[in-house]
């Protein structure tokens, strides 16, 4: 059975490149590599070009510090 890994990294090259290096190492060792990222950040363009399957999700940023209230509002949407 093939080993599998889901890599979660994105936003900037400073986060993507180190994770991408790990992905290449694992792929060369026979692992099945998948990526989780956001549809509006840099990883959405970079990762598919590297022949790695990516799952894209929407990401919401909270504009104020009241995370409980913002989380509740997010559930209502």
**Mind listing the pLDDT tens digit for each residue in 48-60?**
999 999 999 887 6
Three-state DSSP class for residue 33? strand
Between 48 and 67, where is the model more confident?
48
The first and second tokens of residue 40, run together, are 């509006």
Q: Is this model's pTM higher than 0.85 or not?
A: no
Query: For 7-44, how does the pLDDT look when each residue is reduced to its tens digit (9 = 90+)?
Result: 999 888 899 999 999 999 999 999 999 999 998 889 99
For domain 4-76, the CATH architecture is 3-Layer(aba) Sandwich (3.40)
Please determine, for residue 74, whether its predicted confidence score (pLDDT) is greater than 80. no
Other Cβ atoms less than 10 A from the Cβ of 64: the count is 7
């Amino acid at each position: 059975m093939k080993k599998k890994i889901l890599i979660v990294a994105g936003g900037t090259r400073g986060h993507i490149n180190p994770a991408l290096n790990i992905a290449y190492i694992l792929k060369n060792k026979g692992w099945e590599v998948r990526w989780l990222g956001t549809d509006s950040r840099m990883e959405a363009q970079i990762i598919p070009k590297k022949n790695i399957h990516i799952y894209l999700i929407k990401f919401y940023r909270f504009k104020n510090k009241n995370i409980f209230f913002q989380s509740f509002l997010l559930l209502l949407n």
